């Protein structure tokens, strides 16, 4: 399968899809997990755990520790509700949490925006190259840095 499109969720639809995905995996959708997901989904750029902790703290009018947020974000990544942008040490909400694919991130060095695309032919090539070197991949993540159309 090459590049393809998904039913992308946003707003309440995204929250509902994330909750359903987490529950399907045998996890609970707690108030804190909902608050972290809402905060993460509200960012228009990759957000660090500290960014998310600040947003949740402001929304709940109480301090929320970043280490608690890290644990929840790790669960979200493992459950495909969020994706980690390794080079930025940041996270983005997955707009299609029910669909598991390798990640290709286009990261703008100008404005910090990211675009997530799926192209199984490209990541299949990465998997094949790794296999040729005797390496078994779990989930390739490709990050391409440059300038977006607006900043370019």
Instruction: Report the CATH number that the domain containing residue 114 is assigned in CATH.
Output: 3.30.1490.190
- Same domain for 61 and 107, yes or no, is no
Please measure the distance between the N-terminal and C-terminal CA atoms of the chain and give it in whole angstroms. Answer: 30
Higher pLDDT, 19 or 6: 19
Model confidence at 2, pLDDT cuts 50, 70, 90, reads very low
Q: What is the pTM of this model?
A: 0.81
Give CA separation, 41 vs 28, 104, 127, 131, in Å: 19, 19, 30, 35
List own/partner pairs for 63-70 with CB under 8 A and 24 or more apart.
64/32, 64/35, 68/32, 69/36
- Is residue 34 in some structural domain? yes
- Same domain for 19 and 86, yes or no, is yes
Query: Is the distance from CB of 85 to CB of 115 less than 8 angstroms?
Result: no
- What CA–CA distance (Å, rounded) separates 68 from 138? 26
- Same domain for 42 and 65, yes or no, is yes
Tens of pLDDT, residues 37-91: 999 999 988 999 999 999 999 999 999 999 999 999 999 999 989 999 988 899 9
Domain stops at, among 93, 115, 137: 93
> Can you tell me which residue has the tokens 């995204």?
14
- Residue 106 pairs with which residues in a beta bridge? 115, 144
Percent of the chain whose pLDDT exceeds 70: 91
- Beta carbons within 10 angstroms of residue 1's beta carbon: 9
- What CA–CA distance (Å, rounded) separates 15 from 1? 28
Give the domain extent around 77: 11-93
- What CA–CA distance (Å, rounded) separates 81 from 92? 9
């Amino acid at each position: 399968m090459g590049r393809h499109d998904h039913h992308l969720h946003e707003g309440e639809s995204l929250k509902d899809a994330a909750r359903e995905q987490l529950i399907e995996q045998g996890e609970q959708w707690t108030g804190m997990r909902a608050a972290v997901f809402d905060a993460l989904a509200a960012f228009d750029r990759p957000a660090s755990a500290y960014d998310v902790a600040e947003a949740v703290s402001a929304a709940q009018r109480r301090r929320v520790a970043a280490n608690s947020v890290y644990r929840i974000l790790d669960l979200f990544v493992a459950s495909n509700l969020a994706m980690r942008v390794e080079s930025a040490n940041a996270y983005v909400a997955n707009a299609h949490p029910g669909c598991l694919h390798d990640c290709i991130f286009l990261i703008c060095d100008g404005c910090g925006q990211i675009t997530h695309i799926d192209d199984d032919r490209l990541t299949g090539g990465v998997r094949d190259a790794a296999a040729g070197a005797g390496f078994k991949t779990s989930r390739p993540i490709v990050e391409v840095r440059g300038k977006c159309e607006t900043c370019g």
